Structure 1
Amino acid sequence: MGILENKARAQVFYKYLSNVYDEINPFVWNAEMRAEALELFDVDEDDRVLDIGCGTGFGTEGLLEHTERVHGLDQSAHQLKRAYGKFGRDGPVKFYRGDAERLPFEDNTFDALWSSGSIEYWPDPVAALRECRRVTEPGGNVLVVGPDAPKTSVVGRLADAIMLFYDEDEADRMFAAADLDVVEHRIQQANPGSPRAITTLARVPE
C-alpha cells in the first residue's frame, strides 16, 4: 500500500494541496481530457450522478454541463471548502463528506457514477468499486479515472510506494472483482511527457 493510500495521511496531504490544487491539476487532468471522458460517460440531462472524490469540483463542473442532478462526495474537508467556494453550500450540487468504501447512500440511488483522481487514494479499491456498483442503478455507467502505471519497473516501484498506479489488466481484475462490466479503457495525457491517466468506463450488470 502506498503512503497516500492511508486515509489519515491523504487528509493531511490534501489540507495543504487544496490551496494550489486548481493551479496544479491542469498539468495532469485538464479540461480537454475531462470533456473526452464526459463524452465517453454519456449521461442524460435528467440523470442523477454521484461524483466520488469530487475535490474542489473540477470534474463536478464538467458534469453540470450535462445534468443538473450532481452530488459530490469527498473525505477532505479542505477540498470541500474550496468546492463550496465555487458552488455554494446550497447551490446546484449537493455535497457530502464521506468515505468511498462506505458510501452514505441507499442501494440504486444514482443513475450513473463518476470518479476522477480519487481511486489512487483508496486503501481497498475493490471494496470502493463494490460500493460504486451498489449505489448505481442496474445498467448505469460507472466511470473511473486513475493514474496509468509507469512503463519502467523502477519508476513503477517508486510510484506504487506513494499511491495506487495500475494498468488495463489490473483495472480489469479490480472491476471484475467488484462485479462491474468493463466497456472500455482509454489512456489520456495532458501533454507529451506528462503523467498518463487511465479512464475506465464500466457498467452495472442488469
Structure 2
Amino acid sequence: MGVLENKARARTFYKYLSKVYDRVNTFVWTEEMRAEALEMLDVDADDRVLDVGCGTGFGTEGLLQHTDNVYGLDQSPHQLEKAWAKFGKHDPVQFHFGDAERLPFKDGSFDAVWSSGSIEYWPNPVEGLREMRRVVKPGGTVLVVGPDYPESTVFQKLADAIMLFYDAEEADRMFHEAGFEDVEHVVQQAKPGSPKAIVSVARAPERSEGAD
C-alpha cells in the first residue's frame, strides 16, 4: 500500500495541495480529457449524478454542463472549501463530507456515478467500487479516472510507494470483484511525456427477476 493510501495522510496531503491543486491539475487532467470522459459517461439532462472524491470541483464543473442534478462528496474539508467557493455549499451542487468506501446514500440513489483523481488514495479500492455499484441504479453507469501504471521500472517502484497506480488488467480485476460485468478502458494523456490517466467505464448489473 502506498504512503498516501491512508485516509489521515491523504487528508493532510490535500490540506496543502488544495492551495495549488487547480493550477497543478491542468498539467495532468485537462478540460479536453474531461470532455472525452464525459462523453463516455453519457449523462442525460435529467440524470442524478454523484461525483465521488470531487476535490475542488473540476470534474463537478464538467458534470454541470450535462445535468443540474449533481452531488459531490469528498473526505478533505480543505478541498471542499475550494469547491464551495466556486459553487456554494448547496446550490447548484449538493456537497457532502464523506468517505468513498462508506457512501452516505441509499441504494440506487443515482443514475450515474463519476470519480476522477480519487481512487488512487483509497485504502480499499474494491470496497469503494462496491459502494459506487450500490448507490447507482441497476443498469446505471460508473466512470472512474485513475493514474495509469508507468511503463518504466523505476517509476513503477516510485508509484507503488506513493499510491495506487494500475493498468487495464488490474482495473478489470477490481471492477469485476466489485460486481460489475461490462467494463471498458481508455488511456488518456495531456501531451507526450506527461502522466497518463486510465478511464474505466462500467455498467451496474440489471436487477435480476425476483430480486428485491
Same fold (TM over 0.5): yes
Whether the aligned pair in 2 keeps the contact of 1:71 and 1:93 (CA below 8 Å) is: yes
Give the equivalent residue in structure 2 for 1:133. Answer: 133
- Identify unmatched segments of 5+ residues in structure 1: none
Cα separation, 2, equivalents of 1:43 and 1:156: 34
Structure 1 Cα separation of the partners of residues 97 and 90 of structure 2: 15
Post-superposition offset of 1:182: 3.4
Question: CA shift at 1:48, angstroms?
Answer: 0.3
Structure 2 residue matching 1:59: 3-state secondary structure: helix
Which residue matches 1:36? Answer: 36
Following the alignment from structure 2 to structure 1, what is the Cα–Cα distance between the partners of residues 24 and 196?
A: 15
Q: Which amino acid aligns with 1:57?
A: G
Query: What percent of counterpart residues are identical?
Result: 70
2:23 matched to 1:23? yes
Q: Distance in 1 between matches of 2:90 and 2:146?
A: 29
Output the amino acid matched with 1:54.
C
- 1:70 maps to which residue? 70
> Who is 1:10 aligned against?
10
2:46 corresponds in structure 1 to: 46
Q: Counterpart in 1 of 2:87?
A: 87
What TM-score, normalized by structure 1, do the two folds share?
A: 0.99
Between the aligned partners of 2:83 and 2:175, the Cα distance in structure 1 is 29
State the one-letter code of the partner of 2:49: V
Give 2:143's aligned residue.
143
- The answer for the alignment partner of 2:177 in structure 1 is 177
**Larger mean Cα displacement after TM superposition, 82-91 or 51-60:** 82-91
Inter-partner Cα distance in structure 1 for 2:200 and 2:182: 7
- 1:6-40 CA deviation, whole Å, 9 max, x = no partner? 00000000000000000000000010000000011
Report Cα offsets for 1:83-121 as digits up to 9, x if no partner.
Answer: 000001132000000000000011000010000000000
The two structures, once aligned, show a CA RMSD in angstroms of 0.6
1:118 aligns with 2:118: yes
TM-score by length of 2: 0.96
Give the counterpart letter for 2:33 in structure 1: M
Paired residues, number: 206
- 1:168 equivalent in alignment to 2:199: no
Structure 2: 5+ residue runs without aligned partners?
Answer: 207-212
TM-superposed CA distance for 1:154, in Å, is: 2.1
Q: Distance in 1 between matches of 2:7 and 2:63?
A: 26
Give 3-state SS (helix, strand or coil) of 1:83's partner.
helix
Q: Which amino acid aligns with 2:25?
A: N
Is the CA contact 1:182–1:200 (under 8 Å) kept in the aligned structure 2?
A: no
Offset at 1:155? 1.2
